[in-house]
Amino acid sequence: MIDVWAPGCEEEPYLRHSGEDVREWVTLSHCWGQKSPLQTTKNTIVAHQEALPLNTFPNLFCDAVTITRELGYRYLWID
């Protein structure tokens, strides 16, 4: 689950542990194709829990973060 913070927030989103109290979220269903533009692995999980820099996101994911914020939701799940 990606915590995108509040509308208009300038902070970078970050990976939030899905076992935490999350009640509502927006979902982007995405066809990954041949390569995954962004993955959380054992090697990247700690860094992703601190920040997911938007400059590492594909445009579609950046748009999803923006729309999630503008709709007033805090959480985004990209499947």
* Number of CB atoms found within 10 A of residue 64's CB: 21
Do the strands 14-15 and 26-28 form a parallel or antiparallel pair, or are they unpaired? Answer: unpaired
pLDDT at 33 (0 to 100): 74
Task: Give the mean model confidence (pLDDT) for residues 35-53.
Answer: 87
- Give residue 5's pLDDT: 83
Residue 20 CA to residue 30 CA, distance in Å, equals 24
Is 13 in contact with 67 (CB distance < 8 Å)? no
**Both structure tokens of 67:** 């729309």
Average pLDDT over residues 66-74: 92
